[in-house]
Structure 1
Amino acid sequence: MRLFIAEKPSVAKAIVAELGSASRGDGFITCKEGSVVTWCFGHLLEQAEPDAYLPDDVPRTKKGSKVWRFEDLPIFPKTWKLLPKNDKGVKKQLATIGKLLKKASLVVHAGDPDREGQLLVDEVLEHFRYTGRALRFWVSAQDSVSIRKGLANLQDNGKFVGMKWAALGRSRADWLLGMNLSRAYTLTEGKKELIAVGRVQTPTLALVAKRDAAIRHFKPVPYFIIKARLGSDKPFTAVWEPGDSQTGVDEQKRLVDRGIAVALQQRLNTVNQATVVSYSRTPKKIAQPKAFSLADIQLAASNHFGFSAEKTLSVCQSLYETHKATSYPRTDCSFLPESQHADARNVLAAIAKTIPSLAGIVAKCDCSIKSPTWNDKKITAHHGIIPTQQATDGSKFNDAERKIYLLISERYLANFLPAHEYLACSIELRIATERFSAKGRLVTKLGWKAVTGAADEDKTDDEGQALPELKAGLQVPVSGIECKEERTKPPAAFTEGTLIRAMENIHQAVDDPQSKKFLKEGDGIGTPATRAAIIAELKRKKYLEAKGKKIVATELGVHLLQVVPDVMKNPVLTALFERILREVEAGKVPLGVFIEKQKQLVINELNRLRK
Structure 2
Amino acid sequence: MGKWLFVTEKPSVAMEFVKLLNVKGIKADGYIESDKAVFTWCVGHLVTMSYPEAYDENLKRWSLSTLPFLPKEYKYEVIPAVKKQFNTVANLLKREDIDRIYVCTDSGREGEYIYRLVDKIVGVEGKEKKRVWIDSQTEEEIRRGISEAKDLSEYDSLAHSAFLRAKEDYLVGINFSRLLTLIYGKTISNFTGEDRVVIAVGRVMSCVLGMIVEREREIRGFVKTPFYKVIGEFNVGDNELELTYDGEWKAVEGSEYFQSHYLYNESGFKRREDAEKLVEKFRELSKSSKIIIDKITKNKEIKKAPLLFNLAELQNECSKKFKISPEETLNKVQSLYEKKMLTYPRTDARVLSKAVSKEIGKNIRKLTSYKGDSDVGAIAETIVNNNWFKDLEKTKYVDDSKITDHYAIIPTGEGLQSYEKLNDLEKKIYNLVVRRFLSIFYPPAKYNKIEVVTKVGNESFFTSDKVCVERGYLDVLNWEKDSKENKKVEFLNKLRKGQVVDLNNLTIKNGETTPPKRYTGGSIIIAMENAGKLIEDEELREQIKGAGIGTSATRAEILKKLEKIQYIASNKKTQIITPTTKGEMIYEVIKASIPTLLNPTLTASWEKGLKMVYQREITPEIFMDKLENYTRTNIHKVLSNNKVVNGENLFSEVIESKNITIAEKAIEDVLGICPICSKGQIVKNKKGYGCTNWSNGCKFFVSEICGKKISTVQIKKIIERGRTDIIKGFKSKKGTDFDAALILKEGKIQFDFSK
**What is the TM-score normalised by the length of structure 2?**
0.74
Is contact 1:446-1:455 (8 Å) kept? Answer: no
Q: Secondary structure at the match of 2:209?
A: helix
Deviations 1:52-103 (A, max 9, x none): 123x356xxxxxxx2211112222222211111120xx21211111221123
User: Kindly tell me: are residues 467 and 458 of structure 1, through their superposed partners in 2, closer, same or farther at Cα, counting changes over 3 Å?
Assistant: farther
Q: Which residue of 2 aligns with 1:236?
A: 245
Q: Which residue of 1 aligns with 2:146?
A: 151
Greater shift after overlay, 246-255 or 375-384? 246-255
In structure 2, which of residues 33, 39, 54 is the aligned counterpart of residue 30 of structure 1?
33
In structure 2, which of residues 484, 490, 508 is the aligned counterpart of residue 483 of structure 1?
508
Is 1:361 matched with 2:387?
Answer: no
Bigger relative CO (Cα 8 Å, ≥ 6 apart): 1
Q: Which residue of 2 aligns with 1:401?
A: 426
Structure 1 residues 138-177: aligned runs within 5 Å: 138-177=133-172
Greater shift after overlay, 39-48 or 446-455? 446-455
Is 1:213 matched with 2:217?
Answer: yes
Q: Which residue of 2 aligns with 1:62?
A: none
Q: Secondary structure at the match of 1:411?
A: helix
Structure 1 residues 57-456: aligned runs within 5 Å: 57=58, 66-87=60-81, 90-103=82-95, 104-131=98-125, 132-191=127-186, 192=189, 193-232=197-236, 235-243=244-252, 244-250=258-264, 254-269=268-283, 271=286, 274-321=291-338, 323-351=339-367, 352-353=369-370, 355-357=372-374, 358-365=376-383, 366-369=386-389, 370=392, 371-390=395-414, 391-454=416-479, 456=481
Is contact 2:450-2:493 (8 Å) kept? Answer: no
C-alpha distance in 1 between matches for 2:549 and 2:136: 26
Deviations 1:245-288 (A, max 9, x none): 43411367632121111122233345386422221222221112
Is contact 1:211-1:491 (8 Å) kept? Answer: yes
Q: Which residue of 1 aligns with 2:749?
A: none
C-alpha distance in 2 between matches for 1:219 and 1:295: 32
In structure 1, which of residues 529, 532, 537 is the aligned counterpart of residue 561 of structure 2?
537
Please state how far the C-alpha of 1:235 moved relative to its aligned partner. Answer: 4.0
User: Kindly tell me: are residues 411 and 466 of structure 1, through their superposed partners in 2, closer, same or farther at Cα, counting changes over 3 Å?
Assistant: farther
Please state how far the C-alpha of 1:520 moved relative to its aligned partner. Answer: 4.7
Q: Secondary structure at the match of 1:22?
A: coil
Greater shift after overlay, 495-504 or 334-343? 334-343
Please state how far the C-alpha of 1:436 moved relative to its aligned partner. Answer: 1.5
Q: Which runs of 5+ in 1 are unaligned?
A: 59-65, 511-516
User: Kindly tell me: are residues 554 and 269 of structure 1, through their superposed partners in 2, closer, same or farther at Cα, counting changes over 3 Å?
Assistant: same
Is contact 1:441-1:466 (8 Å) kept? Answer: no
Q: Which residue of 1 aligns with 2:581?
A: 555
Aligned residue identity for 2:166: S
C-alpha distance in 2 between matches for 1:253 and 1:172: 54
Aligned residue identity for 1:353: Y
C-alpha distance in 2 between matches for 1:465 and 1:544: 51
Greater shift after overlay, 169-178 or 152-161? 152-161
User: Kindly tell me: are residues 173 and 78 of structure 1, through their superposed partners in 2, closer, same or farther at Cα, counting changes over 3 Å?
Assistant: same
User: Kindly tell me: are residues 20 and 30 of structure 1, through their superposed partners in 2, closer, same or farther at Cα, counting changes over 3 Å?
Assistant: farther
Deviations 1:355-388 (A, max 9, x none): 1413233333344242421233332211111111
Is contact 1:505-1:522 (8 Å) kept? Answer: yes
Is contact 1:143-1:389 (8 Å) kept? Answer: no
Is 1:467 matched with 2:492?
Answer: yes
Is contact 2:371-2:377 (8 Å) kept? Answer: no
Please state how far the C-alpha of 1:452 moved relative to its aligned partner. Answer: 2.5
Aligned residue identity for 2:341: A
C-alpha distance in 2 between matches for 1:251 and 1:506: 30
Q: Secondary structure at the match of 1:205?
A: helix
C-alpha distance in 2 between matches for 1:425 and 1:251: 23
C-alpha distance in 1 between matches for 2:153 and 2:185: 48
Is contact 1:325-1:392 (8 Å) kept? Answer: no
Q: Which residue of 1 aligns with 2:669?
A: none
Please state how far the C-alpha of 1:116 moved relative to its aligned partner. Answer: 1.1
Please state how far the C-alpha of 1:466 moved relative to its aligned partner. Answer: 7.0
Please state how far the C-alpha of 1:539 moved relative to its aligned partner. Answer: 0.6
Is contact 1:8-1:42 (8 Å) kept? Answer: yes
User: Kindly tell me: are residues 435 and 560 of structure 1, through their superposed partners in 2, closer, same or farther at Cα, counting changes over 3 Å?
Assistant: same
Greater shift after overlay, 540-549 or 229-238? 229-238
C-alpha distance in 2 between matches for 1:247 and 1:475: 32
Deviations 1:385-428 (A, max 9, x none): 11112123322111211111111011011012111111222222
Q: Secondary structure at the match of 1:304?
A: helix
Is contact 2:410-2:437 (8 Å) kept? Answer: yes
Deviations 1:97-135 (A, max 9, x none): 122112321111112111111121122122211122211
Q: Secondary structure at the match of 1:105?
A: strand
C-alpha distance in 1 between matches for 2:553 and 2:371: 27
Aligned residue identity for 2:11: P
Please state how far the C-alpha of 1:454 moved relative to its aligned partner. Answer: 2.5
Aligned residue identity for 1:541: I
Give the number of equivalent residue pairs: 591
Is contact 1:275-1:429 (8 Å) kept? Answer: yes
User: Kindly tell me: are residues 455 and 265 of structure 1, through their superposed partners in 2, closer, same or farther at Cα, counting changes over 3 Å?
Assistant: farther
Say which one has the larger Rg.
2
C-alpha distance in 2 between matches for 1:488 and 1:119: 49
User: Kindly tell me: are residues 106 and 466 of structure 1, through their superposed partners in 2, closer, same or farther at Cα, counting changes over 3 Å?
Assistant: farther
Q: Secondary structure at the match of 1:361?
A: helix
C-alpha distance in 2 between matches for 1:447 and 1:588: 44
In structure 2, which of residues 622, 627, 636 is the aligned counterpart of residue 598 of structure 1?
627
C-alpha distance in 1 between matches for 2:568 and 2:497: 57
Is contact 1:440-1:465 (8 Å) kept? Answer: no
Q: Aligned Cα RMSD in Å?
A: 2.4
Greater shift after overlay, 239-248 or 559-568? 239-248
C-alpha distance in 2 between matches for 1:466 and 1:83: 76
Q: Secondary structure at the match of 2:533?
A: helix
**What is the TM-score normalised by the length of structure 1?**
0.91
Aligned residue identity for 1:312: T
C-alpha distance in 2 between matches for 1:274 and 1:373: 49
User: Kindly tell me: are residues 294 and 4 of structure 1, through their superposed partners in 2, closer, same or farther at Cα, counting changes over 3 Å?
Assistant: same
